[in-house]
Structure 1
Amino acid sequence: EYLDSEDELLYGGAKNTTSDEKSPFVHAPHLSKDKKPYWWIFMADDKRDKIMIEPIKITDIVTSKTFKFQFAAPRDPGLYTYVAYIKSDSYVGTDIKKELRVNVKDLSVLPPENEVDDDISEPEEDSFAGQLKLAREQGIYSMMASANGSEKKKEDSDSSDDSDDE
């Protein structure tokens, strides 16, 4: 299946492959070994001449793939324009330059977030998790006790050696 437009490449016009398919090697008869095609994806703010997302090397694209990237949004509200670049190190004429618009809103305009209960309760002793926790604690305490005991024995033997020399 061939992709005919940038939109199909960017928005997954072809089926996303999640199988174990490998990318075919590049036809490069003058190279001494087979070459896998690599793609580089990055995002920039062309107006400020700044890279927003550092280039990321992609090696496992067969037909199409979806990626998610995070970056720091501007502090001030407004409409910002960035450019996403998809570049190939193997194929001529396949590079893509796509303009992206990000609308940053003022915090006061956003709806309040629902409170999330972040409390993690301690596992009860009769549960499996509780038994594992108890075993870990006992194991740590017994290891610490045995380590302290061996240090005391060593100190005792050192002090008894000193008393014999007098």
Structure 2
Amino acid sequence: MASFVLVPGAGGMAWYWHRVAPLIRAAGHESIAVDLPGDDTQAGLAAYADIVVRGIAERSRVILVAQSLGGFTAPLVCARAPVRMVVFVNAMIPKPDETAGQWWGATSAIEAREQAATRRGYATEFDLGTYFLHDVSQDVLRAGPQRPREEAEIVFGEPCR
């Protein structure tokens, strides 16, 4: 049996993993979806890593799964816990000392998103439904929280060391 520790992206809601976690358990593995305080203006990357490390607890050789902004928490966890493998799911993968705010410019992600929108004829202004939830069924969205947690700005200004 493997232990999968699931790190969410911006907003930090463990709920994001609610459809994946049962599949992991059905395959005979342990699933630990971590809830991060994404909307806490004082909780940065170190606090996120602390929470994930506490979730790992005494487990060894866990499989750390990091989605989107969770890619900035993953390296900090790997430095402190016995991680067997890291799986990135559409993750922001930082260079050493890069901030999540710098990542956007370094990868040209915003320009690419806007160019794709222009080519395909939809709004270039960011919209959560268009850019992140476009392929999520309404039934799934209705089953979740009324509003996703906003991510506090602190995380976007902290370098990933």
Interval containing the TM-score (normalised by the shorter chain): under 0.3
| Greater C-alpha radius of gyration | 1
* TM-score normalised over the length of structure 1: 0.21
